[in-house]
Amino acid sequence: MATELLQVEDVSKRFRVRGRTLHAVEKVSFKLSPGKTLGLVGESGSGKSTLGRLALRLLGVDEGRVLFQGRDITQLSNKQLRPLRKDMQMIFQDPQASLNARMTVGRAIEEGLIIHGIGSKSDRKERVYRVLERVGLPFEASYAYPHELSGGQLQRVGIARALAVGPKLVVCDEPVSALDVSIQIQVINLLQELQQELGLAYIFIAHNLAVVEYLSDEIAVLYLGNVVEQAPAEELFKKPSHPYTQTLMKSVLKIPEPGSEEQSLSHIQGEIPSPFSPPSGCSFHPRCPFAEDICKRKKPEPHMVGTGHLVACHLAN
Amino acid sequence: MSSIVQGAQVRRRPNSQSKQAWNRFKKNYFAVFGLAWVVLFIIVGIIGPWVAPYSYSATDFLNVNQPPSALHIMGTDQLGHDLFSEILYSIRYALEIAFGATLVSFFIGVALGLWAGMKGGIIDTIIMRLVDFMMAFPAFFFDLILVVKFGRGMGPILLAIGVVGWSGYARLIRSLVLGLRQGDMVEAATCLGASPLRVARLYLLPNVLSSMLVSLAFGIPNDLIAQAGLSVVGMGLAPPMPSFGNLVAQAGSMVLGYPWMMYFPAGVFALTLLSFLFVADGMNDALNPKGGY
């Protein structure tokens, strides 16, 4: 047990919006070991970003526990959390929005070091230059303001800022979805190199399955705040067992291998239901092509269908 | 790695944002004229008392109510005070009160507005109801009460005007902070371990300051008017300290016989107010190229 970096146990989060309750995340559990990557996949509004923020305690947890390095951080106050922050960082989807427009890039990267009192002034400067260089930016970039850099450069700054404090866990919240395709692969490669070098654990949030497949050791598929399927990456792509996962994979455009049979591209019918009033039983049943009577009445419990392969579906086995 | 390094040249913007704002400001002749006058006003405010030919309290009963002449270029009043010197001193006091009072309002407004915007909840409600109260309460009446209570010296008047005028700043800064509070920038800072105070100081304040600048510029002429208004009802700076309000109020009863006693102070004061307004308006246009503020 002590080897786990992060344990999330039956975590739920609800938001109250104008008197109504939004079920953002429902009883989600997962474990993450050092140096591993967990991919979180799902449509917009499936609660994947919320889950990432719960894991970092950027949001308060309503139910369940979050253990970081074996320590329960669920009940810690914001003040008690602050020293822990240097071990858990986040990379944001929109680097421009996450950087302070009135702060130079170098100052933004140094900020974490200043907050945690790491190094003397010259040490910090040295460290900023080194981390900038590591993410592929010249040291001159530290004198630039965010609006003077391009999107790809800014995302490198976002990565540099998260890494400068030497974290063990990094939540990447769709770090490439705002970037050009040509830049995406560079940033993903960079993230992977850094993981190997520094032994980082990632929670990688994305709606792009191909990206997640490439990076993740384990993948959790979220639908309306519930984990519908969770498995090692290879297993999940070889044997997707939940109808939702299956349709998600069919919706990915792939270059066919020569001689393979023609595959039709399908998409999921309808929209994701309102999280204010999730459907009865299995929350996917209104859109599920295989839905039966039991799906409308009873909520499926996650059960094992393979080694480490969890599925929440009545029909999968 | 080398492939990554290549694409990463840092591009310098040809013009910084402040340079662009200045270029837009320059095109507005009224604003440029206003700025020139404001700069002159500030310089005179600083050096005025040293270059004034007479003291503001030097009475000369042999030369009362003199029209403009070589000796008294703006004439004298009913006590033989040199009007030109009086105006120079008035500028000094007007400047002190205008900037001082605006600064006081600004600090109170920024502190309360940031606090309300950051905390939300009950604190936000209390502060905003206080803002509503300050907005609904007649400001001039409040000024009068404070001046009556605390006296007619420089400090009390400065504080009275300042304490009354903070509500607008608080409301503006709160609304700006609310827009930023939920954003990624604040979350990123929190994630780095920044305390709320640090977030307010290093992240929120610098980002809302340029929007505050315009309302600050509009605040200065308002405080000048408030100060003059107090003098008109006899609650401004206590004589013999001169102020524009005092000079104009005094001249009111003499205007038929000795009109220059009205023309000079009222003219300078009106020009000053207009200049500050032109500058504020020009800043508004220059800093918000999309219009509106």
With left for phi above 0 and alpha for psi between -120 and 50, is residue A215 left, alpha or beta? alpha
Chain A interface includes B184 (CB < 8 A): yes
Check residue B32 and give its pLDDT. 94
Smallest Cβ–Cβ distance between B10 and the set A85, A97, A140 belongs to A140
Q: Under an 8 A CB cutoff, do A138 and B185 touch? A: no
Phi first, then psi, for residue A9 (nearest 5°) are -120, 110
pTM of the model: 0.80
Q: Under an 8 A CB cutoff, do A186 and B3 touch? A: yes
Q: Under an 8 A CB cutoff, do A138 and B12 touch? A: no
Chain A residue with CA closest to B210: the answer is A102
Q: Under an 8 A CB cutoff, do B192 and A115 touch? A: yes
CA A124 – CA A112 distance, rounded (Å): 10
Chain A residue with CA closest to B15: the answer is A148
Residue type, B243: S
With left for phi above 0 and alpha for psi between -120 and 50, is residue A156 left, alpha or beta? alpha
Q: How many CA atoms lie within 13 A of B109 on its CB side?
A: 29
Smallest Cβ–Cβ distance between B188 and the set A98, A144, A148 belongs to A98
Chain A residue with CA closest to B190: the answer is A58
Residues with Cβ within 8 Å of B242's Cβ and at least 6 positions away in sequence, in order, are B56, B81, B86, B87, B89, B90, B93
Q: Under an 8 A CB cutoff, do A98 and B195 touch? A: no
Residues 205-244 of B with CB under 8 A from A: 206-207
Residue type, A283: S
Smallest Cβ–Cβ distance between A98 and the set B1, B184, B193 belongs to B184
Per-residue pLDDT of chain A (317 residues; tens, 9 = 90+): 457 899 999 999 988 888 888 888 988 999 999 999 999 998 888 888 999 999 999 988 999 999 999 889 988 888 899 999 999 999 999 988 999 988 899 999 999 999 999 889 999 999 999 999 999 999 888 888 888 888 889 999 999 999 999 999 999 998 888 888 888 888 999 999 999 999 999 999 988 788 888 889 999 999 988 899 999 988 888 888 898 888 888 777 666 667 666 666 666 777 778 888 888 888 888 888 888 888 888 888 888 888 889 999 888 77
Chain A interface includes B197 (CB < 8 A): no
Smallest Cβ–Cβ distance between A90 and the set B7, B188, B194 belongs to B188
- Name the DSSP letter for residue A303: E
Chain B interface, best mutation among A50, A80, A102, by max B CB count within 10 A: A102
Check residue B151 and give its pLDDT. 84
CA–CA distance from A257 to each of A240, A263, B156 (Å)? Answer: 20, 11, 84
Check residue B1 and give its pLDDT. 39
Residues with Cβ within 8 Å of A48's Cβ and at least 6 positions away in sequence, in order, are A40, A41, A42, A205, A222
Residues 254-273 of A with CB under 8 A from B: none
What end-to-end distance do the CA atoms of chain A give, in Å?
28
CA–CA distance from A139 to each of A159, B3, B16 (Å)? Answer: 15, 17, 21
Residue A222 three-state SS: strand
Contact residues, chain A, for B10 at CB < 8 Å: 137-138, 140-141, 144, 148-149, 153
CA A148 – CA B117 distance, rounded (Å): 29
Looking at the complex, report in whole angstroms how far the Cα of residue A260 sits from the nearest Cα belonging to chain B. 34
Check residue A90 and give its pLDDT. 93
Contact residues, chain B, for A99 at CB < 8 Å: 185, 188
Q: Under an 8 A CB cutoff, do A83 and B194 touch? A: no
Contact residues, chain A, for B204 at CB < 8 Å: none
Residue B62 three-state SS: helix
Q: Under an 8 A CB cutoff, do A90 and B4 touch? A: no
Burial class, B18, CB count within 10 angstroms (exposed 0-12 / middle 13-18 / buried 19+):
exposed
Chain B interface includes A98 (CB < 8 A): yes
Return averaged pLDDT per consecutive 10 residues of chain B, 293 residues in all.
46 64 87 93 88 79 78 78 87 89 93 91 92 90 88 86 90 91 90 91 88 86 89 81 84 82 88 92 78 42
Q: Under an 8 A CB cutoff, do A148 and B1 touch? A: no
Nearest to A26 by CA among A43, A47, A4: A47
Write down the ipTM of this complex. Answer: 0.86
Q: Which two tokens stand for residue B290?
A: 């999309």
Q: Under an 8 A CB cutoff, do A103 and B189 touch? A: no
Residues with Cβ within 8 Å of A120's Cβ and at least 6 positions away in sequence, in order, are none
The answer to whether the beta carbons of residues B246 and B78 sit under 8 Å apart is no
Q: Under an 8 A CB cutoff, do A98 and B187 touch? A: yes
Check residue B257 and give its pLDDT. 82
Q: Taking CB atoms and an 8 Å cut-off, how many pairs form between chains A and B?
A: 94
Phi first, then psi, for residue A282 (nearest 5°) are -75, 125
